[in-house]
Amino acid sequence: MSEQKLAAEVRAEFGKGFARRARMAGKIPAVIYGHGAEPIHITLPAKATTLAVRTANALLSLDINGEAHLALVKDIQRNPIKQIIEHIDLLTVRQGEKVTVDVAVHVTGETAPGTVHNLELTVVSLEAEATHLPTAVEVDIEGRTAGEHIHASDLVLPKGSVLLTDAEALVINISEAIEAEEEEGEAAASVGAPAEASAE
């Protein structure tokens, strides 16, 4: 994953009032912490940051007063109604450092005719280099038949990644499809069945 470069500004103000003013000025309050150092409170350009963090496990290259900082997005707080970003928590990282991240499971391909797949686990936890974080783990289900199971241990992980999720965890289950026509036919039969004549 390529680094997203952003210019950050150190801030000395805090609180809801400041956060509101910052957002009106097109900036997002954020804090960067890690490695036992004192947290650095900053603001980020709203438009560029919003675009940068659309990618899962976004890695940001921050210019803070001329100093370069690598940071991983750990938490994003959004307005529940407008969905705009209100605050971001960042974790400082170093080149080659290993970090733990949750990565989405993406399914590709189609199972055998008459079958369906159920995604039982939507994300898996991996350990990977902070500067080479995967955005997803792809699982090819092409031609899979009913009764097949794909566990976490079966996943093909991105280069340099280590699985932290339980290896026996069920990720995808392949089962026979329930024909919609059969269900509709049964429902129609039960609705259209004549009522039994009541005995006098």
What CATH number has the domain bearing residue 172?
A: 2.170.120.20
Q: Rounded to the nearest 5 degrees, what angle is found at the Cα of 26, between the Cα atoms of 59 and 70? A: 20
Range of the domain at 146: 100-181
Which regions of the chain are under pLDDT 70? 1-2, 13-15, 179-200
Residues 51, 130, single domain; the answer is no
Residues 81, 141, single domain; the answer is no
Residues 61, 107, single domain; the answer is no
Residue 74 belongs to some domain of the structure = yes
pLDDT of residue 188: 53
Q: Rounded to the nearest 5 degrees, what angle is found at the Cα of 112, between the Cα atoms of 111 and 114? A: 105
pLDDT of residue 174: 95
Residues 65, 111, single domain; the answer is no
Residues 6+ apart with CB under 8 A from 175: 115, 116, 117, 118, 146, 147
Residue 194 belongs to some domain of the structure = no
Residues 88, 15, single domain; the answer is yes
CA distance 160 to 133: 9
Residue 186 belongs to some domain of the structure = no
How do beta strands 170-176 and 149-151 pair? antiparallel
How do beta strands 115-119 and 27-34 pair? unpaired
Question: pTM for this one?
Answer: 0.69
Residue 81 belongs to some domain of the structure = yes
Residue 189 belongs to some domain of the structure = no
Residue 128 belongs to some domain of the structure = yes
Number of domains observed in the structure of the chain: 2
pLDDT of residue 198: 46
Q: Which residues share a beta bridge with 118?
A: 173
Question: Which residue in this structure is represented by tokens 């997002």?
Answer: 28
32: exposed, middle or buried (Cβ count in 10 Å: 0-12, 13-18, 19+): buried
Residues 35, 80, single domain; the answer is yes
What CATH number has the domain bearing residue 50?
A: 2.40.240.10
Residue 195 belongs to some domain of the structure = no
CA distances 168 to 64, 80, 183, Å, are 44, 36, 34
Residues 105, 86, single domain; the answer is no
Residues 116, 87, single domain; the answer is no
Residues 111, 80, single domain; the answer is no
Neighbouring CB atoms inside 10 A of 198's CB total 5
Residues 110, 129, single domain; the answer is yes
CA distance 144 to 173: 10
Which helix H or strand E contains 181, and what residues bound it? helix 180-192
Which two three-digit tokens encode residue 8?
């950050």
Which two three-digit tokens encode residue 12?
């000395």
